[in-house]
Chains A and B, each alone.
Chain A
Amino acid sequence: SQTIHQWPATLVQPVGSPLSLECTVEGTSNPNLYWYRQAAGRGLQLLFYSVGIGQISSEVPQNLSASRPQDRQFILSSKKLLLSDSGFYLCAWATGTGFEQYFGPGTRLTVT
């Protein structure tokens, strides 16, 4: 069966520090991968999606970037965090032709 992992589960970082969040998927090949952010009390916002290695589409201009160095690995990064980057970051995967997206457990980021 397929499994999606995210780490860390929680993170507290000072403003201006770098960020690296990792997401890995097991049990499937060539998945579509997604990064979402959910600010406190708000809905999910799609940040990036990827249909293959090295292929990244950005949905919202921001202080973040994404990379996909391996088929089942998706990384969210920032060189300098802002207070507004705080939120709940969720990774998701889907098959190329499937209807459902499957979400990971999320990383709760607090920028202080």
Chain B
Amino acid sequence: DAKTTQPPSMDCAEGRAANLPCNHSTISGNEYVYWYRQIHSQGPQYIIHGLKNNETNEMASLIITEDRKSSTLILPHATLRDTAVYYCIVRARLGKLTFGQGTILTVHP
């Protein structure tokens, strides 16, 4: 599975958009981009995934660059409950999830 690079931490004001970047320059053509988050002392929660088109669901939007070497997870209106560690993972469709260190997102009042 391709390796991903994320900033170790980010801050965001409540009500503003949180934009979390992820680099995955060695991604293969059959690998998807997944995002999970882990709120303190809980199990990870699936957020969204995509292959090459931008995706949106009730939780977030995923923007993947045309060359697929990077992506951005967007939380459109961050709340205090969005404070968590966000993991960007790249894997083939039936491959294993490999969690890195992720980005600690802190949403401030």
Contact = CB atoms under 8 A, between A and B. Distances in A.
B43 interface: yes
B43 A106 contact: yes
B43 A99 contact: no
Contact of B102 (A43, A46, A88): A43
Interface of B: 32, 34, 41-46, 49, 87, 93-94, 96-102
A103 B101 contact: no
Given A99-B49, A100-B49, A105 B99 contact: no
A99 B32 contact: yes
Interface of B is mostly: loop
Q: Which 7 A-B pairs rank lowest in CB-CB distance, beginning with the nearest?
A: A103-B43, A44-B99, A100-B46, A43-B99, A90-B43, A103-B44, A99-B49
6 contacts: A43-B99, A43-B101, A59-B96, A99-B34, A106-B42, A106-B43
A46 B1 CA distance: 14
Contact of B93 (A90, A92, A99): A99
A86 to B, nearest CB: 15
A43 B43 contact: no
A103 B42 CA distance: 9
